[in-house]
Amino acid sequence: MQKRLILVGGGHSHALVLTYWGQKPLSTVDLTLVSDVRETPYSGMLPGHVAEFYSHAESHIDLGPLAAFAGARFIHDRAISVNAERNLLICENQGEIAFDYLSLDIGSTPYLGGIQGSEYGIVAKPVAQFLQKWQTLLDQIQSQSPKTLTVAIAGGGAGGVELAFNVQARLQRQFPDLSLTLQLWQRGDQLLPNHNDWARQKVMALFTERHIQVFLNQTVTAIAPDLGPDNFPRYQLHTADGTTQRVNAVFLLTQASAPDWLRRSVLRNDEQGFLLVDATLKSLSHPHIFAAGDIATIQPKPCPKAGVFAVRQGRPLFENLQRILTDQVPRPLTLPDRYLSLIGTGDRKAIALWGSWGSYGRSWWWLKDWIDRRFMKRLSK
């Protein structure tokens, strides 16, 4: 009898699992991919897509052909619950799907619980909705031709910083006559809290040069509509200390969190709702369930919620899934203490970071572009 393995989510790790599976399939396994999107974005290229350096096709992974290459059944549906005791995945339309083994790679979403009126913001994830709202904003500017525009970004991590560079670059290039004000709001006392001092100083210098305003120790608490007589979008942005700013758009890249359905499950999670796994990517509470990418917190040594780690977890996840399905013992993966981080600055240049070292220039953009295109080429089926 075939064993049933369900991959939930089409993130970077699962995309690689499907690629490796197509090269080395197991005839004893019934493989299924469940994803609420048919095309999943590649995080490395998404800021460049915002800046219009990459097309939609270049920056998105087509899961249909990839699943077919792996010999997997593809179910286009949204997972809404998991019954880990009865081995059932519950989907929005498909209902209950039975499994013997389950793997989760569903990414994270910005935590919006502390922001009243977050529905008025442009939330970074799900990416399809983010890109739709971004395009709506571009269309409104094109059709209504405002003389001034103020854009706020809430979140000063690497994602918020890179988005600030690329949003500004796109708007200035597409609307050269527009008087643009771009603001970045960060709840902590420094940008890029997971990177080194050189990176923070370099980003602040570039922001100053490009007239991007930075507000530190400012937690966004509310967004309220403030529609003007011309019907062009206007909002009031409120912060915890009582500050109010009038803006035309608010991008939300706040602290990452897990979906509510995973929080409510019996699976052992951390405080943010992410699934706790060991170094083999196996659930600490349910050893027949695996997780990788942002949705997983590896114990005892968690790694940052960054795409580079999701990519690195792809092959170990594939190998450990095949091991457990063939009654072998999964092996722990080894992740480096230091990793190369490349942050595009919207001008075909990039900041390169490695531990305490940093550099900036056009050659790092070329390297980033080469890495990203090579990754996407591996997944083209």
| CB hemisphere CA count around 23 (13 angstroms) | 12
Q: Residue 307: pLDDT above 80?
A: no
What is the predicted pLDDT for the residue at 255? 81
The alpha-carbon radius of gyration of the chain (Å, integer) is: 21
How sure is the predictor about 335, in pLDDT bands with cuts at 50, 70 and 90? confident
Contacts of 101 (CB under 8 A, 6+ apart): 3, 4, 5, 6, 288, 289, 290, 321, 324, 325
Q: Write down the pLDDT at residue 381.
A: 66
Q: Helix, strand, or coil here: 319?
A: helix
Q: How confident is the model at residue 229 (pLDDT cuts 50, 70, 90)?
A: low
pLDDT tens-digit readout, 359-374: 999 999 999 999 999 9
Mean pLDDT, range 118-145, rounded to an integer: 94
Once rounded to an integer, what is the mean pLDDT over residues 13-30? Answer: 97
Is the confidence at residue 230, as pLDDT, over 80? no
Other C-beta atoms within 10 Å of 115: how many? 23
CATH numbers and ranges of domains, the chain: 3-108+258-339+370-378 (3.50.50.60), 118-251 (3.50.50.60)
The answer to whether 13 touches 320, Cβ cutoff 8 Å, is no
Which of 18-22, 73-77, 114-118 is predicted least confidently? Answer: 114-118
Average of per-residue pLDDT across 13-33: 97
Q: How confident is the model at residue 114 (pLDDT cuts 50, 70, 90)?
A: confident
Question: Which segment of 137-141, 326-330, 338-342 scores lowest on mean pLDDT?
Answer: 338-342
Task: Let me know how long the chain is.
Answer: 381
Q: Which amino acid is at 14?
A: H
What are the pLDDT digits (tens) for 187-206? 999 999 989 999 999 999 99
pLDDT-based confidence at residue 113 (cuts at 50, 70, 90): confident
Judge whether residue 301 has pLDDT over 70. Answer: yes
The pLDDT of residue 316: 96
Mean pLDDT, the chain, rounded, equals 94
pLDDT, residue 201, reads: 97
